[in-house]
Amino acid sequence: MPQKDIAAIILAAGKGTRMKSDLPKVLHQIAGRSMLGHVIRCAHEIGASRQIVVIGPDMPDVKAAAQNENPDAEIAVQYAQMGTADAVNAAREPLAEFTGDALVLYADTPLLTLPTLEAMLDARRAGAAVVVLGFRPDDPAEYGRLVTDESGDLEAIVEFKECTPAQREIGFCNSGVMAIDGALLFTLLSEVDNDNAKGEYYLTDIVEIARRHGHRCAAVEADPDEVLGVNSRVELAQAEAICQDRMRHAAMLDGATLRDPKTTYFSFDTVLGRDVIVGQHVVFGPGVKVADGAVIHPFSHLEGADVGTGADIGPYGRLRPGAEIGPDAKIGNFVEIKKARVEEGAKVNHLSYIGDARIGKAANVGAGTITCNYDGFNKHFTDIGAGAFIGSNSCLVAPVKIGDGAYTGSGAVVTEDVADDALAIVRPPQVEKAGWAKNFRQKNAGEKN
């Protein structure tokens, strides 16, 4: 596709009342990213150097989210909110001198793909003034119909209520997404009127206006999944399922094994290396990278974590933000790691919490060990040296350092540094009272009688 200036006008002013939520509709998340974020990302991938996000008045959260996703995003406000043409017209001032390709996208339609947008732009650059993205749903219901001529050019978009019986038989429906010649866009919009039942300005009218001025219009077909608009929690769940299936498919094509794909859940930025094996019921939150050959066992949850080559996580492993798991390290059953580096070959096998710490190369942390990193006000660091052995049920009270090759006895509460190769034992001596248990039983049995 030849390069040309592209502007994306992203409509995000809808209130989303059917979501029944205090959160603006377009900020609801799919795979750990807002719907608005997905659309901004897609616009970036297609090469849109200008991104104008159209919001309603008093939508500071949407404005902040847009500029967090793209600091260069421009914000336009649709004050009256009188239809889709009115929304696009809000971008008139920032795009007054723009003559490239204008894409009209919807922040509640988050599943568009790069090939589909490329096909629309190809059609636009082949001479169509307006290109509309259509789809063929199983049930066309009350979608607007796309009427094409014998050559395939788009003649009109007809709203369902205005369709003739013959037009209602058309299965090709309007998604609302468009690619428009930027040099014509606002000229066409200037002729859109609100002479309709709702008194609104409809973007769909520009097809008829463009043809009236002798311009050709075209339609490109997309898979119905791509143009799913999210207006309710039910549709949000449908979009999540479609997105997850896409990511699972891509992960397996890239060389990862998913033992039960339907129970693996990814975030938008999950990265899996080759020969990674993911067990059943694994959840990847945002910010996870897993290197080649690592194994993630069932029922594990990872977020904001880096997993090294050949590392072994779980089952029931919990990696929280800042977890760095080195090559061939082992994080086992019911182990939680937070903001800690576990170096090559180190093992934390059972029922432990490691936070704000370093576990040195080939160190072994026994079952039930915790780093006591929080004093109620501040977090403190625990440093465990290479080859160290931490006895089961140890409490390491940070800040503290366990030297290379050092041992701590089981049940130790370690509050002071332990030197290299030393053994720290922190517990009272065992006392044995001969016959005590027998006497205790006899006494209590007699009292019961």
Q: Which residues are catalytic?
A: 350
Report the chain's C-alpha Rg in angstroms: 31
**Residue where the block lists tokens 């058309």:** 170
Tokens 């903001």, located at residue = 339
Q: How many other β-carbons are positioned within 10 Å of the β-carbon of residue 175?
A: 26
- CA quadruple 78, 38, 33, 135: dihedral positive or negative? positive
Question: For residues 6 and 90, what is the distance between their CA atoms, to the nearest angstrom?
Answer: 17
What does the block give as tokens for 142? 């009350």
- Residue 362 CA to residue 410 CA, distance in Å, equals 19
**CA separation for the pair 402, 407 (Å, rounded):** 8
* Full DSSP string of 18-52: GG--SS-GGGSEETTEEHHHHHHHHHHHHT-SEEE
Nearest to 39 by CA among 299, 286, 226, 312: 226
Cβ(201)–Cβ(82) under 8 Å?
Answer: yes
The four Cα atoms 218, 223, 225, 227 give a dihedral, to 10 degrees, of 0
Give the pair of three-digit tokens for residue 231: 């207006």
Q: Which residues contact 282 (CB under 8 A, 6 or more apart)?
A: 263, 264, 265, 296, 298, 299, 300, 301, 302, 314
143 DSSP assignment: P
Are the CB atoms for 89 and 104 separated by under 8 Å? no
* Backbone dihedral angles phi then psi of residue 250, each to the nearest 5 degrees: -65, -40
- What are the tokens at 235? 């549709």
364, 390 Cβ separation under 8 angstroms: yes
